[in-house]
Chains A and B, each alone.
Chain A
């Protein structure tokens, strides 16, 4: 697998976690969410992935959505977490912590081996 392909698969998996985490902070609408993700270069994603993802999360009952008129501009579809979504986020955060810790340790063993060799 090429590094580019690997990296895009890695991002796809973490995007769901980041989207849930951002919505957990405050209710957000799609454009707001995409702009928030754009602040971190590695998370910058095509809007084309975020909207279908939101749709799936809504269908699965992890988020709920409501349309609200905005003062200036178009109506916005705001998302918030359901209790089920909050559970999922908690579990995903724990998994993420475990995984990143394990990866970090594996990489440090690799580094040690290199410095000895």
Chain B
């Protein structure tokens, strides 16, 4: 009993911690605030209309026919109308027109403010969808500041960030419910969405267009930092990967550089230069493994390396025949890539 109680408390406190982790009614982005206002206006107008319709419907059911009304239709005398009813219907028509017009205006102004945010972009990030992970590139006029990472987006608070969306295979959809609406990633085309985060925090994003067997495991983490923290993060990510210092890490480095890993993954400053899979230069600084499939930890990494096809069946990462020692070395090396 006490154990069950502890478990419930743990779950509740967890729910509190991640209150804004992924919520379609979150208000952590400027778009979302506008949407929330628009949503409230729609809800209020529609609720009033709904109640009014119900009142009239119930009135219609309860209202008794007057004597002599029974034969109105048959006798053809239906042009005779009640003046009060007539006025009521005209007012009703006017209310409906005005209500719809008000909703159209509210929607127009929301659209306009969103478009004005897009016109003031300060940071440009290209996100490319792949089955089933997100390739993220920070663009800069200075090529030495261009940064490639994966599955974890860092954005500064209050800065309009334009996210350019592309796809390498099928249609995906970039959905960051706590900060903005959805935008599709369409192969052969470029789409974009501008977000202006308003609150520092960690949010979860998710692919919102079914894209294959591992669609559910195509998530990403968004870290909204203060501008100073964001610049520190960017500069750290621009550094080449840390060279191995321990014998274990050295063994892992040798394996990664000489075997299958380097064909798909890039680790900057090493011979591993593949571009097929996620960039691993600062892999251990991320929060998840396999695009949100597992939380980042040494044990989870070991399980992932041992058999990615069991953890995320269908992923392009093949199961590689390596001994337990080799795997421990590779995991030891990857753990140093902070």
Same assembly: no
Chain B contacts to A: CB under 8 angstroms: none
Chain A contacts to B: CB under 8 angstroms: none
